[in-house]
Amino acid sequence: MKNIVYAAIGILALSILAVVPSNAEDKSLYERIGGYKGVAAAVDDLVERLYVNKSLNQNEAIDLVHKQKEKAAFKLILATWVMENTGGPKIYFGRDMATGHAHLSISHREFDIVLNECLTTFYQLGVGQKEIDELMAGLEAQREMVVSAKSN
């Protein structure tokens, strides 16, 4: 009888552990990357590098945007997108991804360049591997909406 009671307690404990998420899993990606401060640091680092990326600036439409002296505004709008899309406050006020990029004729190659720069930023800031994987998957999911060039 005693054994049955112990076994029942054991099963109960295991099933509670299985349904109650641990603290880390409880937190949104936004929280795990440091909230608005983490997002601001990442966007700041990334945009500085994108603006001087010679390969990207071979695309005249991108080069034109980069010469417009609106870098601070670009960082702000990008930060709101990242915040909203990582489970943070829903404050993105820009266009949808397809509309916001249609005029830039972005190629798959340029998309890859941007994703590589994102990865460099995440490594540089010491973002954890689990979070990097989630962030990169979220960015990759935008590819079909962002890329509009006829050729690669």
Give me the residues that bind ligand HEM (CB under 6 A), please. Answer: 56, 62, 65, 77-78, 81, 94-95, 100-101, 104, 106, 110-111, 114, 139, 142, 146
Give the CA distances from residue 68 to residues 64, 91, 140, in Å, rounded to whole numbers and listed in that order. 7, 24, 27
Other Cβ atoms closer than 10 A to 57: 16
Is residue 26 a contact partner of residue 124, using CB atoms and an 8 Å limit? no
Residue closest to ligand HEM when measured from CB atoms = 94
Give the CA distances from residue 145 to residues 11, 56, 115, 135, in Å, rounded to whole numbers and listed in that order. 48, 18, 15, 17
Nearer to ligand HEM, 32 or 114 (CB): 114
Q: Considering the complex, what minimum distance in angstroms separates the CB of residue 65 from ligand HEM?
A: 4
Nearer to ligand HEM, 15 or 120 (CB): 120
Q: Considering the complex, what minimum distance in angstroms separates the CB of residue 34 from ligand HEM?
A: 18
Nearer to ligand HEM, 35 or 142 (CB): 142
Nearer to ligand HEM, 6 or 67 (CB): 67
